[in-house]
Amino acid sequence: MSRYLTLILLMSLFLHSSESEGNEKRPPNIVLCMGDDHGWEETGYNGHPYLKTPVLDEMAQKGLRFNRFYSGHPSCSPTRGSVITGRHPNRYGTFAPNWSLRPEEISIAQVLSDAGYRTAHFGKWHLGPVKKASPTSPGAMGFSHWLSHDNFFELNPSFSENGEEPRVFQGESSEIIVDRALKFIKSAEASSAPFFIVIWFGSPHEPYSGLAHDLAIYDDLPAKYSDRQVKLTSNETGKSVQRPLGEVLRERYAEITAMDRAMGQLREGLEEHGVRDDTLLWYCGDNGTPSSGLLKSPLKGRKGQVYEGGVRVPGVLEWPNKITKPLQTDHVAVTSDMLPTLCAIANVKLPNRTLDGIDLTSAFEGEANRSKPIFFWSFNTRSLPQSPEPWIAGDLQEGTTPLVKLINGKPTRTFKNVHLGSIRDSHYTGPRAITTQRYKLILDQSSSNQVELYDLTDDTGELNNLAESKPEMVQQLKQSMHQWQTDVLRSLTGADY
């Protein structure tokens, strides 16, 4: 009898051990969320005087708050490319909005799909057309399901589902894509597979609009800021128009509040499905605040510029099973860090590519140590040949999902990506910056080509240019920038493929 009981005990211990090992091997779920044109200062937790963002505020209070989180570029398409690839967008020709990815890039969705994740994309894509035939659609880049738009969207948006003809979805756009994401989560949990979901909101990109109860929160703004006109797109004509700042801010802030509420619905849905504790939820913006929504900020600059106001964005992360107490970090981090961080979390190999991002998992333990600087570079597209060879055939770069803002009279978008040819000195130009934990060197941002050096530890507003007093630091950072640009341009020629 004792032998029999011993055998039963050993078998029980073995099964328990195997079950524990199996549970440990199952990687966490991952949800990446991104606001469109959502600047660093536009949250309650960063001290905005008007905005109501209670959900993001709670995430910042309870989870991991990055005080110096950066977008990979001061505009949207390039930053999104940095999330998907872990690489600076200039390596594969995503120079600006409406410049596509290259099909040869390895995406985080492909990596995680190969590791057993169920993958889905919801909302703004802007890395090429979302239609089925596109070689850079979400499906082509590793997402098994997508409800997506080529660019940004407003109330009652049009989306293409899995590359089919777009159709209109009635309602507030942030809530629509979160609702569809939660339906996908339910199906993923039924299959016992971990899920990787990207939710890229269309808010708060202009032209602005909002629901009545969200607009009502900011009813006092039009009277306060009626003396300044700002330029943006008209919801009625799709063309440029001038409107009073107060009216514009009321609509913009209503969009941000609605997006924040959708983030709350997402968190509640994760809780209802019983997966919130083991889901990494990460929110950030894709670039700084645009001129049409800029009120007051301690940061210099705006969207489109490599000053802090153009590239520093909200960055908050929750993962209750791992981040069990509130954490803040002042260490610099950037959107290209997402891919290597997620690969480390999922215990999968990094893509066989030169990466610009680093693994940030040490920050989950309250530590951080960045071994290389962060580079920003708005490529000078005027340095390209007048008629460069397209990387992707023109018909494959035509978008299908309509939006309010017209370009050349069209409500859809045409994407492009081109071959570089040989590297020339002119290819090194364009506004660019290098940021270490302490210093930031800026080149070519101003019209006078002034060299700017700032100590960000005590000069967040980039007011005191130290370039003349610290020539050795300027030279050191210039050299690092040039070496990095040379490597990027090598990638741009297609050498990585």
pLDDT for 330-381, tens place per residue? Answer: 999 999 999 999 999 999 999 999 999 999 999 988 887 788 999 999 999 9
The gap between the terminal CA atoms of the chain, to the nearest Å, is 66
**Global pTM value:** 0.94
What's the confidence (pLDDT) of residue 104?
98
Residue 6 pLDDT more than 70?
A: no
**Average pLDDT taken over every residue of the chain:** 94
Of the candidates 274, 351, 179, the one whose C-alpha atom is nearest the C-alpha of residue 169 is 179
Of the chain, the percentage scoring pLDDT greater than 90 comes to: 89
| Contact (CB, 8 A) for 357 and 339 | yes
Task: Give the whole-angstrom CA distance, residue 467 versus residue 432.
Answer: 15
45-82: pLDDT as tens digits: 999 999 999 999 999 999 999 999 999 999 999 999 99
78-127: pLDDT as tens digits: 999 999 999 999 999 999 999 999 999 999 999 999 999 999 999 999 99
State yes or no: cis peptide before 74, omega within 30 of 0.
no
| Contact (CB, 8 A) for 54 and 44 | yes
Task: Give the whole-angstrom CA distance, residue 407 versus residue 414.
Answer: 9
Give the number of C-alpha atoms closer than 13 A to the C-alpha of residue 126, restricted to the C-beta side: 27
Could you tell me the sign of the dihedral formed by the alpha carbons of 190, 112, 287, 131, in that order?
negative
Token representation of residue 260: 């924040």
Residue 19 pLDDT more than 50?
A: no
What's the confidence (pLDDT) of residue 190?
81
Token representation of residue 389: 């060879």
Task: Give the whole-angstrom CA distance, residue 83 versus residue 325.
Answer: 26
Q: How confident is the model at residue 410 (pLDDT cuts 50, 70, 90)?
A: very high
What's the confidence (pLDDT) of residue 447?
64
Residue 419 pLDDT more than 80?
A: yes
| Contact (CB, 8 A) for 42 and 56 | no
Task: Give the whole-angstrom CA distance, residue 481 versus residue 373.
Answer: 10
State yes or no: cis peptide before 204, omega within 30 of 0.
yes
240-273: pLDDT as tens digits: 999 999 999 999 999 999 999 999 999 999 999 9
Of the chain, the percentage scoring pLDDT greater than 70 comes to: 95
Q: How confident is the model at residue 157 (pLDDT cuts 50, 70, 90)?
A: very high
169-224: pLDDT as tens digits: 999 999 999 999 999 999 988 888 999 999 999 999 999 999 999 999 999 999 99
| Contact (CB, 8 A) for 408 and 372 | no
Tokens 């007051």 locate to: 296
Residue 285 pLDDT more than 60?
A: yes
Of the candidates 80, 66, 57, the one whose C-alpha atom is nearest the C-alpha of residue 257 is 57
Task: Give the whole-angstrom CA distance, residue 98 versus residue 414.
Answer: 7
CATH 2.40.50.140 is the classification of domain 28-373: no
Query: What are the backbone dihedrals phi and psi of residue 340, each rounded to the nearest 5 degrees, phi first?
Result: -60, -30
Angle formed by the axes of helices 245-272 and 54-62, nearest 10°: 50
Could you tell me the sign of the dihedral formed by the alpha carbons of 376, 380, 385, 386, in that order?
positive
Task: Give the whole-angstrom CA distance, residue 443 versus residue 208.
Answer: 33
Give the number of C-alpha atoms closer than 13 A to the C-alpha of residue 330, restricted to the C-beta side: 6
Segments making up each domain of the chain, as ranges: 28-373
